[in-house]
Homo-oligomer: A and B are copies of this chain.
C-alpha cells in the first residue's frame, strides 16, 4: 500500500543548516507538529450524536469520563491512526514526499499503533514519549479520538487528548523541526497552553532557517477559541494558511465567502479555502482562483478530507507546482480519503497523482 520511498532529490536550500551530516539529517519537505491520536471510528445514527450531546461535524475535547461514556454508546468500532497533522504527513509521504512528524505519545498499545502506522507509510516520526509517572489518569495514555460517522458521511469527533496535552516547549526536538522546508502546525494545538509555547518555539526555529510556516485552522470552534492568536500568527508568522469556508469566515469575521476571500487576499499569504464538494479557492496576492473538487462516486466518510487536501497542496508546494496545481493535487488526495472509513490514505496516492499529471518536479 505505501509507495516506495522517493528517489534522492537534489539538495534543498536547507542542507547547509541541517544538523549533523548522516542520512538522518537530510532535509524534509514538510515537518508536521500535532496531536498524536488513534481514531476509534464507528458508524452512528443521529440519535447517538443527540444522546451524547455532540454537534455534528465538529470536534469536541472531552475528559476521560466523557470519552468512556460516549464510547459505551457507540457501535462496533475500528481503530485506525489519525491526528490532523499526522494524517497530512501520511499523505505527503504517500505521494513520495519527505515528511516528518512530531507528536507526543505514551508507552502504551495505542502509542505503539500510532508509531507503527505513521512510520509504515514512510513518515519520519520523532515521538516525544511521555514518562510513566503513574500520576493523573487523564494525562498518562496516548490520545484517541472517537469518530462517529453518520449516514450522510459527516464525521463528528470527541477527542480525549491524553498525554498529547502535556507537550511542552522544552520537549520540542528543534533540530528535527529545523530540517523542515515547511513546518506545518495544526490549530488544535492552540487548545493546549503548553503546546502554544512549543509552537512559538517551532515557528522561531523554522524562521531562523528560512523555512515556511503553514497553519491549519482545524475547526470553526477552535478558531472561535483562538481567534486573536490566529490573527496574530497571520499578521506576523505564517506563509500558508489552510481552512474550510466556515473556519476562514470565523477567523476574519466575514459574513460571506467573498468577504473572507478579500480579507485573505489582504494578508498577503497563500491561503487555501476548502469548500467540500464545491472544491476550493486558492488566494494569492494576485487574487483568488477556484479549483473544482475531484469527482467521487460515493462519499463514505469525510474524516481527513481537509488533512489530505493539505497533504497534496504541501507536496505540490515543495515540488515546484504553482498554487493552482497544488490545489488540484490537494483535491485529488481529499477525494481518495473520503471514499473509505478512516483519515489515512489507502490507495497509492503517488500513482493516482502521477496518472493525473500532478506530481510536478523536484524544486
Contacts and interface: CB of A to CB of B under 8 A. Distances in A.
A43 interface: yes
Interface in A53-93: 71-72, 74-81, 90
A179 interface: no
B78 A80 contact: yes
A324 to B, nearest CB: 30
A346 B233 CA distance: 44
A261 B3 CA distance: 46
Contacts of A2: 75-76
A95 to B, nearest CB: 15
Interface stretch (A115-123, A125-133, A188-196, A313-321): A115-123
Interface in A13-52: 42-43
Interface stretch (A105-113, A212-220, A273-281): A105-113
Contacts of A109: 108-110, 141
A72 B113 CA distance: 11
A111 to B, nearest CB: 10
Contact of A76 (B71, B77, B79, B81): B81
Interface residues of A, number: 28
B76 A344 contact: yes
Contact of A78 (B42, B76, B78): B78
A342 interface: yes
Nearest to A123: B76
A1 interface: yes
B121 A78 contact: no
Contacts of A117: 76-77
Interface string A328-363: 000000000000001010100000000000000000
B113 A79 contact: yes
B75 A120 contact: yes
A141 B109 CA distance: 10
A116 B77 contact: yes
Most chain B beta-carbon contacts within 10 A, residue among A75, A78, A116, A342: A78
15 contacts: A1-B42, A1-B43, A2-B75, A72-B116, A75-B121, A76-B81, A76-B116, A76-B120, A76-B121, A77-B117, A78-B80, A79-B79, A79-B113, A108-B109, A109-B110
Interface of A: 1-2, 42-43, 71-72, 74-81, 90, 108-110, 113, 116-118, 120-121, 141, 342, 344, 346
7 shortest A-B CB distances, which residue pairs?
A: A79-B79, A76-B117, A1-B43, A109-B109, A76-B120, A1-B75, A78-B80
